[in-house]
Amino acid sequence: MRTALFPGTFDPITLGHTDIIDRSLDLFDKIIIGIGVNASKQTMFSIDQRIQWIENIYKGNDKIEVREYKGLTINFCEEIEANVIIRGIRSVGDFEYEKAIADMNQMLNPSIETIFLACSPKYSSFSSTLVRDVIRNNGDSGLFLPMEIRESIAQIK
């Protein structure tokens, strides 16, 4: 079975994230969306809220599973028996950063590959960080979010 991990904080999950996930579905038997817990990151939404959103977006899709994890992503891959890490790339800067991480992961476990997918051009100019700024400042974040979480965000505000 080809199992892939798509790791991130997904705070919140954006249309850019779902673009990468949706385009990966035909490539793998199972995709585990791993929500990494990083003590040094200040998140806007709780881990439970982020899990619920992603589960709502992909309800009924047996190929998608959502899990929380702590520690090194490569260790989580070993735990869930994922042989591929999926990373979305928006720009050259993303590639340089992600390549350095992929190189370290390759040294830690050569049997786990990292695959980079370029996001669709319409999603390449925004990130979760920018979307959080829009939300904090009462902008129209719905332009950047999956339909399944737009109402939820509006209720939270």
pLDDT band at 97 (very low <50, low <70, confident <90, very high): very high
Q: Specify the residue for token string 């980079």.
A: 116
- Strand 30-37 relative to strand 3-8, pairing: parallel
pLDDT tier at 146, thresholds 50, 70, 90: very high
Q: Which of 50, 87, 128, 141 is catalytic?
A: 128
Q: For residues 51 and 85, is the Cβ–Cβ distance under 8 A?
A: no
Q: For residue 40, indicate whether it is catalytic.
A: no
Domain span at 96 = 3-156
Distance between start and end Cα atoms, the chain: 42
Q: Of 23, 90, 99, 150, which one is the catalytic site residue? A: 90
Among residues 17, 24, 87, 141, which one is catalytic? Answer: 17
Please list, residue by residue across 36-60, b when 16 or more beta carbons sit within 10 angstroms of its beta carbon and e when fewer do. beeeeeebbbeeebbbbbbeebbee
State the Cα–Cα distance between residues 16 and 117, nearest whole angstrom. 11
Q: Are 153 and 141 in contact (CB under 8 A)?
A: yes
Question: What's the number of domains the chain is made of?
Answer: 1
Note whether 40 and 72 are within 8 A (CB). no
Reported confidence tier of residue 157, pLDDT bands at 50, 70, 90? low
Residue 153 is predicted with a pLDDT of 83
Catalytic residue among 40, 41, 59, 111: 41
Known catalytic residue at 46: no
Q: Is 128 a catalytic residue?
A: yes
Range 138-143 average pLDDT: 89
User: 131 vs 157, which has greater pLDDT?
Assistant: 131
Q: How far apart are CA 27 and CA 50, in angstroms?
A: 24
The CATH number assigned to the domain holding 68 equals 3.40.50.620
